Structure 1
């Protein structure tokens, strides 16, 4: 191992001190004492320990002090090259091995540097991967960074090859190629552990083909359904009610076939009930006008205390219930069953309630209101002919049936409303669970 002598060690620490006048030069040219040499030895030990923990690209040659000759107490005089600095804190920085004049020293100290670094790292328990990472650390000196890194990597590779030849693959420092090879071998081993067999691979391919075929079939079916829905929607949107034989232009689209199968019968019954209501309104007007102008039992025309003009006008006014019954009762129910919207259901329930109140009023039948109800029947039995009570009783029975029918429709529509609301809530929860909202 290369050793510094006493003169070189002194020159290493005194070459950077500038002369600042003859007075300062005379003060600095006094000989080194034993305490000064001890301080220099301690400083060298600290620098050597710090250099052991630096990466290879930043290390400087270990300036050992084994060859330092400590002067005797009787011979303390040294040449001017051993001039003592003014203080230990003002010592100049030790010249790095990356200096162009010290390249030979760097090559010469490489073996001792590696052995020292290996001993220190083995004592501290530093892994090979950390050693490789330190070897790749960029040096703060641009010129020495590339040289040191290249030399360190080559030295690691050479030592790794030597260790492998000796039969101890883990004793040397791990090179970059070795780390990459180990990582690649580990990845291949992990991939081989999960590699499916030929039979499993064939099953996976078959399942994938079946899934693709099913997806294609569903796409074709979806396109067909969308085209059919667009065609049916355009056909359903064309107005077709009222029918043309009524000498009126169609206003709304009414197609019971577009109603879901489970509710189609219910909608048909509602439509038939509206037609029955139309006939009942016409019969009510005819019977009430006839009773208003028929003579009473005493031989006087008109009912006792009756007003035939008022009865006739109100009876004719009730004929407006034909289109109003379709608008308020049947059509909202039809749209609610087609769409299932909660707002449509609420509108239909309100319309059915209005229809029930109207039928109830007609079934009660106050006198002089044009309604063929119970009160008018009692008045006719007292003041009119008994033959007039027969058609009046028939109309009264129809109004009574209408009342009970509207009650049934209210209950059924409320159930449908609750059913559709629950289905929509469940559908929203399902979509939220699938999407993750």
Structure 2
């Protein structure tokens, strides 16, 4: 009796048959995803992000462990860390602008530093959630929005790292022109943080591009499955 029959594997099984079966299963997965996206289910997960605070209510459901494929989870956790790091740096930037104002610095610089608070929801909408959605849904439209969003995020970091005096950013120009020693040291730290965040976001953008480029489209999959 042939060895294949003993283990229950057909003798005429070929690589082409296996690939055909995998393509069929991939097509079914895509059809199920499309149906789930088109049918609104009242039993779906409730929004949990951002956390409820005062008048702010959760808008989207966000769960990296449940929604993101395992190979991409480490990347998404790192990107999430970069988003929360951005929040901390923006708040730190405002505190340095305030301290500079207290020691005789520009009032306009301090006032404009609050404008960059828009970067907190802006970063989530522009780059973080687009990348998150593209990883979860494998949607081409979200993927391209993720590319553009990450590029805008890097440009924002560059602008803040440069730190033109009088425009609210506590970066290198502002730090090197500061006369107060304490503010100078803290501004140098701020400029360094903006520079490090910029470099990290750039590296993550390159990794995201490579991840998307190396992921071959599944046979029979629709071009876009964005909700």
Q: TM-score, normalised by structure 1?
A: 0.40
Aligned to 1:288: 97
| Partner-residue secondary structure (3-state), 2:58 | coil
Residue of structure 2 in register with 1:260 after alignment: 69
| RCO higher in structure (CA 8 A, sep ≥6) | 2
Match of 2:151 in 1: 353
* C-alpha distance in structure 2 between counterparts of 1:377 and 1:252, whole Å: 39
- Superposed, which structure 2 residues align to 1:197-276 within 5 Å? 237-245=45-53, 247-257=55-65, 258-276=67-85
Q: Is the 8 A contact 2:82 2:201 kept in 1?
A: no
**CA displacement 1:61-112 (0-9 Å, x = unmatched):** xxxxxxxxxxxxxxxxxxxxxxxxxxxxxxxxxxxxxxxxxxxxxxxxxxxx
**8 Å CA contact retained: 2:127, 2:145:** no
CA RMSD of aligned residues (A): 2.7
Q: Aligned match of 1:428 in 214, 220, 224?
A: 220
Give 1:250 shift: 1.1
Name which one, 1 or 2, has greater alpha-carbon Rg.
Answer: 1
Residue 123 of structure 2 is matched in structure 1 by 325
Q: Say if 1:241 and 1:253, in contact at 8 Å, map to a contact too.
A: yes
| C-alpha spacing 1:236/1:410, structure 2 compared with 1 (3 Å) | farther
The structural deviation recorded for 1:428 is 3.5
Confirm whether residue 388 of structure 1 aligns to residue 206 of structure 2: no
Deviation at 1:318, TM superposition (A): 0.8
> Residue 341 of structure 1: which of 133, 136, 139 is its match?
139
Q: Show the counterpart of 1:279.
A: 88
List runs of 5+ in structure 1 lacking aligned partners.
Answer: 1-202, 208-221, 295-301, 432-437
Residues 154 and 198 in structure 2, CA contact (< 8 A), matched pair in contact too: yes
CA contact (8 A) 1:284 1:315 kept: yes
Distance, in Å, in 1 between the alignment partners of 2:83 and 2:170 is 18
Q: Flag the 1:246–1:260 CA change in 2: closer, same or farther, 3 A.
A: farther
How many residue pairs get aligned? The number is 188
Tell me how far apart the structure 2 counterparts of residues 407 and 335 of structure 1 sit (CA, whole Å).
19
* Secondary structure, counterpart of 2:220 in structure 1: helix
**Deviation of 1:419 (Å):** 2.5
Residue 199 of structure 2 is aligned to residue 404 of structure 1 = yes
| 1:395 Cα offset (Å) | 1.1
